[in-house]
Copies of this chain bind each other. A is one copy, B any other.
Amino acid sequence: MGTKTTSKGARTQQAILDAALGLAEVEGLEGLSFGRVAKAIGMSKSGLFSHFKTKEELQLAVYEHAVARFGAAVVQPILDTPEGLPRLWHLCESWLDYAYGGVFEHGCFFTAVAAEYQSRPGAIRERMLRGVVEFNVILRQVISRGIELGHLRPDVDVPQLAFEVHSFMGSANSGHQLFGTTEPLERAWTGIRMRLLGVLTPHAPTLPGLQQPRSRGAATTTESPA
């Protein structure tokens, strides 16, 4: 096979995964069927079988596809930002931008999968748990580096701070998915800011948005109905 064919194969695979991820955002991963994916991209089921042998293989590939999007949107961008507090702040920004920026078309894929596999043991649940742990490790590492560099106080409880920041992120995401308002985003930012301001040292670099925040879209804040 020449390069052209391989490239075409890779493009087809991407198109399959894009379509399957779009379906999974609505229907979940369990609801994914070869028939529906084939129909969504105008391909025969046998054509689809040449890319994925089993439903589970397709499901796991869709999960990896979503993880790759998450990595490209949330994790990759922070690697160019200076370590310590700036990178921690950027991680919060890229995560919240991701949640509110419509990376997924029909709702949060990871929320859907987490709920779907709460009590379904197997390869997909294991992969999902590994993904949750991996992000938590990144968050804790970025915080720890902030302590090492003297930006955050040495007595910071790293797993606790990671838990709290991640809780605000999760709440902002679910609030957004449910109500479509920006209020949960504002509250998450306030929570993260107050938590970080409480643990900064005098050596922490000044960041726009943290020590002297601009109002984040206050003019367009939409209230949740409560």
Contacts and interface: CB of A to CB of B under 8 A. Distances in A.
Interface of A: 25-26, 28, 106-108, 111-112, 114-116, 118-120, 128-129, 132-133, 136-137, 140, 157, 159-160, 163-164, 166-168, 170-171, 174, 177-179, 184, 187-188, 190-191, 224-226
5 contacts: A106-B118, A160-B191, A164-B191, A167-B168, A170-B171
B107 A119 contact: yes
Residue among A119, A137, A163, A171 with the highest chain B CB neighbour number at 10 A: A163
Given A116-B28, A178-B129, A166 B171 contact: yes
Contact of A226 (B140, B174, B225): B140
A18 to B, nearest CB: 17
A157 B26 CA distance: 36
A140 B137 CA distance: 33
Contacts of A114: 111, 115, 174, 177-178
B178 A191 contact: no
B118 A107 contact: yes
B178 A132 contact: yes
A136 B111 CA distance: 20
Contact of A112 (B118, B133, B224): B118
A163 B167 CA distance: 10
Given A106-B119, A108-B118, A118-B107, A191 B167 contact: yes
